[in-house]
A and B are shown apart, each in its own frame.
Chain A
Amino acid sequence: MLLEIKNLHANVGNTEILKGIDLKVGLGEVHAIMGPNGSGKSTLAQVLAGRDVYKVTEGEVLYGGKDLLELDPEFRAREGIFLAFQYPVEIPGVNNTYFLRAALNAARKHRGEEELDAMDFLTHIREKIKLLEMDETLMNRPVNEGFSGGEKKRNEILQMAVLEPKLAIMDETDSGLDIDALRIVASGVNSLRGKERSIIVVTHYQRLLNYIVPDFVHVLSNGRIVKSGSKELALELEEKGYSWLDETVPVSERA
């Protein structure tokens, strides 16, 4: 088991957002987490990556059998956890290629591998740029600065392809994408599927799952996973809408 989340509770300020999440993700599996806005999907993604505005109040997370919550964000990253951000951050003046190389080298150093110099690195990423149909000039621009919404999301997947994580968490990567960009992003992700890599796809829309077909679908509502199933669950959800979930929420929790 690559990731094991047990009874995870997390707050932002005094408000509890995650109210006891249990989830197991095996190596090579693709899990989709769906749910209405405000259900806690993004919070879960950020907590796994170590964002400290969220305070874990209860529960535990094991990653490869080790306590994940103890680790600083950069160590989680170096240990192979990758978060594709819902809102990728711009870093003006910092060259996209330089940034990505620094990230890759931080991970390589951590694994005791030799760091890549600029030339080797360029060879390393060229193919991946093509795969994601990225405009190469974007690589020489500052990180995400002036990128369109679609370009930012593609850049996230490029980073994922280069960093080759063990666990990739995609936080609403499909949001705001037009059909063409969605296809490109999905094919990028599909090319990274494999026995050695697990993927958690957090999404609000069923549409993405037409392109990235998950092994498991979980529905998150009000800070809890209220339903789990196969990919058909997503279709059912699409048909019935999220309001259907209200009926699945325990009566005591209903507003």
Chain B
Amino acid sequence: MATPANNVETLATQEYKYGFVTEIEQETIPRGLNENVVRLISAKKNEPEWLLEWRLKSYRHWLTMEEPKWANVKFDPIDYQAAYYYAAPKSKANRPKSLDEVDPELLKTYEKLGIPLQEQELLSGVAVDAVFDSVSVATTFKEKLAKLGIIFCSFSEAVQEHPELVRKWLGSVVPYTDNFFATLNSAVFSDGSFAYIPKGVRCPMELSTYFRINAKETGQFERTLIVAEEGAYVSYLEGCTAPMRDENQLHAAVVELVALDNATIKYSTVQNWYPGDKEGKGGIYNFVTKRGKCQGVNSKISWTQVETGSAITWKYPGCILQGDNSVGEFYSVAVTNNYQQADTGTKMIHVGKNTRSTIVSKGISAGHGQNSYRGMVKILKNATGARNYSQCDSLLMGDKCGAHTFPYLEVKNPTAQVEHEASTSKIGEDQIFYCRQRGLSTEDAIGMIVNGFCKEVFRELPMEFAVEAQKLLGISLEGSVG
């Protein structure tokens, strides 16, 4: 008789699907980090003086900071001088004007990743900005969006074409002094996505960025900035993959979101950076700062994340609920298998009146994976009528993994309503056997159980992403039950 363990083991031997390397000519700058490197990055991108100054300010501040130690993750010290801080495909001197000018090797890469940029442009209604190592290689649907006044382009392009917008909002949510990794990013960020939705415009399609780390020993420091003006709406998707390499690579991104009066931003992430091999060798260190500011009244920012990749994940997408009646949401599924570690959660800072936040966190630990939820709900003195609901569930598969919960709650206003629920359970043989006794196969049973557990998060994802996330989860977890 085949046991569930046997059945699943065969599937588990399936390798990380996106682990290939693209052979492409790279342009890098010398290893290490110093003021000259910062200047060089800025020069390569032909940046205005104010931006260089901002980078230098950040760099100098970074020198005074120490790497944070509070997260519940363990890793060997990172040698910040050993990494490359800039890598770009060496193609035409200038950025390609259209997809026809993009290096065909690159297009192939994205096709392998399941993101055929050319078809994408023709078929589905998703606009894609593809970021390869540190630079954006292609953005689709630009013209169509431009007609509505929507700006969707690479960050570098935004600096050139819309410097006033970038200058106004850059660092307004995550200041350059924010934290060690965000400050580092502020000094050396190379590219990323920029989206601007003008007043009253509802963005007609999902905006999407696919990030790809390809080069060796390279840190990736992209920066994303999304601004939704009064009454605007946008749904933004982010996907990430990286090749399999034995050494750890650092990814320290910053995402800033700003929602003005009555604006809504939905930000979805499916993070599948290379998690390292079965023994825990290699993989991406994903140290990311993501924050949204509900600056206007009735504004709403919703984070949804499915985190299956990376050796170490350290991220807390948060919301500053400044405008009265503004709403912050955080829906998260974090999976750790083999030797992966995740310390993730959110921060909800209630500033305005009648602000509401919802936190739904689902942690799945398998193998030797360690999964921590760290969430902060802060209700400031003037946040009369603020409400928070937090739900935090952990699923354990096997007995070598761990789940940890660190909820922090600070309430400074007596009218606040705060609700917290937490649970820990183990997926077990008994659930699988129960399903099989009712005639379902082991694979169907695992799929059903895991997707059931994550249901509240998946239903927040746009359709295509939800399907992808479900598949991804299946692959990440197979082999862990039995």
A and B touch in the complex (CB under 8 A): yes
A89 to B430, CA, bound (A): 7
Cβ-defined partner of B440 (8 Å) among A71, A92, A102:
A102
Mark contacts of B418-450 with chain A using CB atoms, 8 A cut-off: 1 yes-contact digit, 0 otherwise: 000000010001110111111111101000110
Identify which of residues 69-120 in chain A touch chain B, using a CB-to-CB cut-off of 8 Å: 70-74, 76-78, 82-83, 85, 88-94, 99-100, 102-103, 106-107, 110
CB distance from A61 to the nearest CB of B (A): 13
Q: Is A110 a contact partner of B439 (Cβ separation < 8 A)?
A: yes
CB distance from B473 to the nearest CB of A (A): 13
Q: Which residue of B lies closest to A51 (CB)?
A: B433
If A52-B1, A52-B3, A53-B429 touch, whether A93 touches B455 (CB-CB below 8 Å) is yes
Cβ-defined partner of B448 (8 Å) among A50, A53, A102:
A102
A99 to B436, CA, bound (A): 11
A interface size (C-beta, 8 A) = 33
B residues in contact with A78, CB < 8 Å: 439
A202 to B1, CA, bound (A): 25
Identify which of residues 233-247 in chain B touch chain A, using a CB-to-CB cut-off of 8 Å: none
CB distance from A177 to the nearest CB of B (A): 20
B456 interface residue (CB < 8 Å to A) = yes
Mark contacts of B450-477 with chain A using CB atoms, 8 A cut-off: 1 yes-contact digit, 0 otherwise: 0111111000000000000000000000
Q: Is B448 a contact partner of A99 (Cβ separation < 8 A)?
A: yes
If A91-B448, A94-B452 touch, whether A106 touches B439 (CB-CB below 8 Å) is yes
Q: Is B444 a contact partner of A102 (Cβ separation < 8 A)?
A: yes
A residues in contact with B93, CB < 8 Å: none
If A72-B1, A93-B456, A94-B452 touch, whether A103 touches B440 (CB-CB below 8 Å) is yes
Cβ-defined partner of B437 (8 Å) among A50, A90, A110:
A50
CB distance from B40 to the nearest CB of A (A): 51
B residues in contact with A163, CB < 8 Å: 438-439
B residues in contact with A91, CB < 8 Å: 431, 434-435, 448-449, 452
If A52-B3, A92-B452 touch, whether A99 touches B438 (CB-CB below 8 Å) is yes
Q: Is B437 a contact partner of A49 (Cβ separation < 8 A)?
A: yes
If A72-B1, A93-B454 touch, whether A159 touches B449 (CB-CB below 8 Å) is no
A residues in contact with B430, CB < 8 Å: 89
Q: Which residue of B lies closest to A69 (CB)?
A: B1
Q: Is A77 a contact partner of B453 (Cβ separation < 8 A)?
A: no
A residues in contact with B451, CB < 8 Å: 93-94
Cβ-defined partner of A106 (8 Å) among B1, B393, B440, B454:
B440
CB distance from B270 to the nearest CB of A (A): 19
Which of B433, B444, B448, B453 has the most C-beta atoms of chain A within 10 angstroms of its own C-beta? B433
B2 interface residue (CB < 8 Å to A) = yes
Q: Which residue of B lies closest to A104 (CB)?
A: B439
Cβ-defined partner of A92 (8 Å) among B435, B439, B444, B453:
B453
A36 interface residue (CB < 8 Å to B) = no
Q: Which residue of B lies closest to A46 (CB)?
A: B433
If A72-B1, A88-B434, A89-B430 touch, whether A103 touches B448 (CB-CB below 8 Å) is no
Q: Is B439 a contact partner of A93 (Cβ separation < 8 A)?
A: no
A20 interface residue (CB < 8 Å to B) = no
A32 to B1, CA, bound (A): 29
A142 interface residue (CB < 8 Å to B) = yes
Q: Which residue of B lies closest to A71 (CB)?
A: B1
Q: Which residue of B lies closest to A52 (CB)?
A: B3
Can you list 14 A-B contacts (CB < 8 A)? A49-B433, A51-B433, A70-B1, A74-B440, A74-B442, A76-B437, A89-B433, A91-B452, A92-B425, A102-B448, A103-B438, A106-B438, A106-B440, A107-B439
Which B residues are closer than 8 A to A by beta carbons?
1-3, 393, 425, 429-431, 433-442, 444, 448-449, 451-456
Which 3 A-B pairs rank lowest in CB-CB distance, beginning with the nearest?
A: A93-B452, A94-B452, A103-B438
